[in-house]
Amino acid sequence: MKYDIRYCGDCAVTVVFPQEISPAVNAAVCGFAARFSQMGLPGISELVPTYSAVTIHFDPILLDMGRLEAAIHEAANAQDAAADAEGETVVVPVVYGGEYGPDLENVCAHNQLTPEEVIAIHSGREYLIYMLGFTPGFPYMGGMDERIATPRLKTPRTAIPAGSVGIAGAQTGVYPIQSPGGWQLIGRTPYKLFDMERAEPFLLKAGQKVVFKPITEEEYKAIERGENA
């Protein structure tokens, strides 16, 4: 896959792959990031994969720009489309509707579907995590079925509880922390996408796939109790 190296000042470069939002390009992005990290170059502080690019933060005092560029070419040219497509799948349990998903009815009304149909469609496929951003741990996911697409609320809520699962246009997402927002809330997961007390603070990462699994309120409470224990 074609790529290009762009400098972002003196302490970062962005490796730009074809500018499109597609699983194939994102797989190349995540595969490149994984191979580049494994090279273990000195002076690299972090890598930020996005839809179709990877930003590499480095210190030019510790790593010569020529050596950095050579390593980028090496990692990019070792592309392996089959291996790159292997993102693991994370199952995220969700209670749909009721107080957990107060806008499920809006999504039903907008698309002339029953709640059972919306839940079946939403939980019936895998969503690719293209990248994280916006707030700590927020996954930008693709692949939602257009049949349940619904515009944002006209008046955004001032506080949406952490774990809320929502729809905005043709996108679906999960709020990792309580924040304001205008997404149509259809359910909530007891899983914590971001927990700074945990050894691994983030549940999800770019390149993984998410499947939502419908659960009951009782199951939600049991998982919540388990996590708090």
Partner 1 sequence: MIKVISPGLLTTLQDGGRYGYQQFGVPVCGAMDRYSLNLANLLAGNEPDEGALEITFMGPTLEFKTGCAFALCGGRFEARLDGQPVEMARAYSAAPGSVLEIGAVREGFRGYLAVSGGFAIEPVLGSRSTYLKGGFGGVAGRKLQTGDELPLRNPVSWLPFMDQRVYEPDTWRYPLEDRPIRVVLGPQQERFSEAGIETFLSNAYTVTQESDRMGYRLDGKAIEYAEGCDGNIISDGIVMGAVQVPSGKPIIMMADRQTTGGYSKIATVITADLPLLAQKQAGGKLCFEAVSPQEAARIRRKQQGFLRRLEF
The residue ranges that bind partner 1 (CB under 8 A) are 6-12, 14, 16, 19-21, 45-55, 57, 60-61, 65, 131-138, 140, 177, 194, 196, 201-202, 205-206
Position of tokens 């003196």?
Answer: 10
Is 100 or 130 the residue whose CB approaches partner 1 more closely? 130
CA 85 – CA 122 distance, rounded (Å): 23
Beta strand 4-7 with 12-16: parallel, antiparallel or unpaired?
antiparallel
Minimum gap (Å) between residue 142 Cβ and partner 1: 12
Look up residue 85 and give its two tokens: 């497509």
CA 172 – CA 167 distance, rounded (Å): 4
Is 54 or 128 the residue whose CB approaches partner 1 more closely? 54
Minimum gap (Å) between residue 205 Cβ and partner 1: 7
Is 124 or 136 the residue whose CB approaches partner 1 more closely? 136
CA 65 – CA 143 distance, rounded (Å): 38
Minimum gap (Å) between residue 228 Cβ and partner 1: 19
DSSP state of 163: T
Minimum gap (Å) between residue 43 Cβ and partner 1: 11
List, edge to edge, every strand of the sheet that includes 53-58: 4-7, 12-16, 53-58, 44-49
Is 25 or 215 the residue whose CB approaches partner 1 more closely? 25
